[in-house]
């Protein structure tokens, strides 16, 4: 790897850290998440193009990235009735949390901690 490519990779790593910190502090929107997944997919394509032992794992990563992009882009079916078996299943598999994140006006990930009050606080 020549010096200019090494510098570009180092700069890309710094930019990725900045992006992660900005997403954690300001929150992620679905469009920002989709754009970021697209960039990661392009990097996987570039690395997989050289073949070798990384080609198959990167192909699998690209399939997961495509599934994540599709989940961010497509509409979810209407939420099930509260308390139903389907609602409990959505909570278990994380669909309910994903729906709440994607449809929220402010996208915080991870969610800020909840402050719980009890009778002992008084």
- 80 vs 72, 99, 105, 117, CA distance in Å? 19, 12, 21, 30
Residue 65 has pLDDT above 70, yes or no: yes
Q: Model confidence at 73, in pLDDT bands (50, 70, 90)?
A: confident
Q: Which whole number is the average pLDDT over 28-32?
A: 79
- Name the average pLDDT for the chain: 79
Q: Is the Cβ–Cβ distance between 28 and 107 less than 8 Å?
A: yes
- 111 vs 21, 28, 71, CA distance in Å? 14, 11, 19
What pLDDT is attached to residue 9? 79
User: Which pTM value belongs to this model?
Assistant: 0.60
Higher per-residue pLDDT: 78 or 88: 88
Q: Model confidence at 25, in pLDDT bands (50, 70, 90)?
A: confident
How many whole angstroms separate alpha carbon 86 and alpha carbon 60? 30
Residue 62 has pLDDT above 70, yes or no: yes
């Amino acid at each position: 790897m020549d010096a200019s490519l090494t510098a570009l990779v180092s700069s890309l790593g710094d930019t990725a850290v900045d992006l992660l910190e900005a997403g954690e502090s300001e929150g992620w929107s679905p469009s920002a998440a989709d754009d970021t997944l697209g960039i990661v997919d392009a990097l996987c394509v570039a690395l997989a193009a050289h073949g070798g032992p990384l080609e198959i794992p990167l192909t699998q990563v690209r399939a997961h990235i495509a599934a994540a992009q599709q989940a961010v882009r497509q509409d979810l079916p209407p939420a099930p009735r509260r308390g139903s078996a389907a609602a409990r299943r959505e909570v278990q598999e994380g669909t309910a949390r994903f729906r709440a994140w994607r449809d929220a006006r402010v996208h915080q990930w991870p969610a800020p901690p909840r402050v719980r009050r009890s009778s002992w606080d008084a």
